[in-house]
Copies of this chain bind each other. A is one copy, B any other.
Amino acid sequence: MIYLDHAAATPLSEKAKTAMLPFFSDQFFNPSSAYLPAVAVRKLYEQAKSDIAHVIGAKGVDLVMTSGATESINLAFLLLEDLDAEVLISATEHPAVLENARRYKNHQIVAVDTNGCLDLDDFTKKLTKNTQFISVCLASSELGAIQPISDLSRLVAKERERRALNGEKTPLYFHCDASQGIGFLGVKINRLGVDLLTLNGAKLYGPKGIGALYVGHNVKLKAQVLGGGQEMGLRSGTENVPAVVAFAAAIKEAEDHLASEQKRLAKLKQQLRSDLADLPGIKFLGNPKHQLVNFLPISLPGLDAERLIFMLEEREVYLSTGAACSASKGIKSPSLQAIGLSDSEIAGSLRLTLGRLNDSENLKQASFHLHAVVAEESARLTKTSPSPPALLDSPKTARLVSPQSPQKLPPEVEQ
Contacts and interface: CB of A to CB of B under 8 A. Distances in A.
Contact of A226 (B17, B36, B96, B237): B96
Contacts of A259: none
Contacts of A226: 70, 74, 96, 99-100, 103
Contact of A99 (B37, B208, B227, B243): B227
A269 interface: no
A73 B227 contact: yes
Nearest to A97: B227
Contacts of A225: 70-71, 74, 96
Contact of A34 (B33, B209, B240, B327): B327
A229 interface: yes
Contact of A68 (B99, B238, B323): B238
A301 interface: no
Please give the count of copies of this chain that the complex contains: 2
B96 A202 contact: no
Q: Is the interface of A mostly helix, strand, loop or mixed?
A: loop
Contacts of A11: 24-26, 28
A313 interface: yes
Contact of A30 (B9, B70, B95, B312): B9
A242 interface: yes
Interface residues of A, number: 71
A157 interface: no
A62 to B, nearest CB: 21
Given A9-B238, A28-B12, A240-B208, A70 B33 contact: no
A241 interface: yes
Interface in A171-206: 202
Most buried by B among A24, A202, A310, A320: A24
A284 interface: no
A237 B71 contact: yes
A310 B39 CA distance: 12
Given A318-B37, A329-B229, A99 B67 contact: no
B74 A67 contact: no
A239 interface: yes
Contacts of A320: 33-34
A8 B224 CA distance: 23
25 contacts: A1-B37, A5-B29, A5-B33, A5-B35, A8-B30, A8-B32, A9-B28, A9-B33, A11-B25, A17-B24, A29-B318, A30-B324, A33-B327, A34-B321, A69-B237, A94-B227, A95-B227, A96-B236, A103-B226, A202-B238, A207-B240, A207-B242, A208-B238, A209-B209, A228-B323
